[in-house]
Amino acid sequence: MSGEPGAIASHELPRTPLPEAQAALRRDKIKIATISLCGCWGCNLSILDCDERILGLLDKVTITRSSFTDIKRIPERCAVGLVEGGVANEENIETLAHFRENCDILISVGACAVWGGVPSLRNTLPLADVLREAYVDSVTAVAGAPAIVPAHPDLPRLTVKVFPCHEVVHMDYFLPGCPPSGDAVFTVLDDLASGRPVDLPTSLTKFD
């Protein structure tokens, strides 16, 4: 062990053991991670739309990396990863690959993750034209102000088009909707957390 003589590495620090019943409960819980790629966060809000049912769900799941916990990376392997949004830049690719690597089951949640959604409207034009329209020829451009397309090493580079998640990594399930309802999100999570096969009624995935 490195460091000061007699020093204890942080992972060796003694911990107060949990009462057995509480420890068993924690052992049996499945771990879940969520992420928003190129989306509007509406699908993430559908998780909150489970309303008070989320309290019962939290007896069965532990949410690790998510926008709610503000943990950036997945701290330990998860049973389920929920992905909102499509892939529109290099950071999205890296984040989605991180989720694929660390989640047993990966779910595309919502139209943007499933097929690109609204952001993929830009796929009908070359990227250079999209940037010019947004930053140079924009109707909201201030007359006389310099027209600059943002470019900085700290900014993730845009991909040439917006990709649905399954065109970048393998996805196990697809939950359609813009956004999927809280009922649909709850049904999927409750099935997975209870060890049942996912059984989503058509009434929760049909929109016309």
Judged by the rule CB under 6 A, the positions of this chain that interact with ligand SF4 are 39-40, 42-43, 84-85, 110-112, 117-118, 178-179
Q: Which is nearer to ligand SF4, 121 or 160 (CB)?
A: 121
Going by DSSP bridges, is the β-strand pair 158-163/87-89 parallel, antiparallel, or unpaired? antiparallel
Give the Cα separation of 118 and 146 in Å (integer).
Answer: 29
Tokens, residue 3:
């460091």
User: CB 123 → ligand SF4: shortest distance, Å?
Assistant: 15
Q: Which is nearer to ligand SF4, 112 or 189 (CB)?
A: 112
Q: Which is nearer to ligand SF4, 80 or 114 (CB)?
A: 114
User: CB 207 → ligand SF4: shortest distance, Å?
Assistant: 12
User: CB 86 → ligand SF4: shortest distance, Å?
Assistant: 8
User: CB 168 → ligand SF4: shortest distance, Å?
Assistant: 16
- Spacing of C-alpha 187 from chain mean position: 18
Bond from prior residue into 5 cis (ω within 30 degrees of 0) = no
Sign, CA torsion 10/12/16/17: positive
HSE (CB half, 13 Å, CA atoms) of 207? 11
Q: Which is nearer to ligand SF4, 144 or 186 (CB)?
A: 186
Residue of 77, 76, 80, 2 whose CA lies nearest to 34: 80
Tokens, residue 147:
């027209």
User: CB 203 → ligand SF4: shortest distance, Å?
Assistant: 19
Give the Cα separation of 135 and 203 in Å (integer).
Answer: 42
Q: Which is nearer to ligand SF4, 43 or 188 (CB)?
A: 43
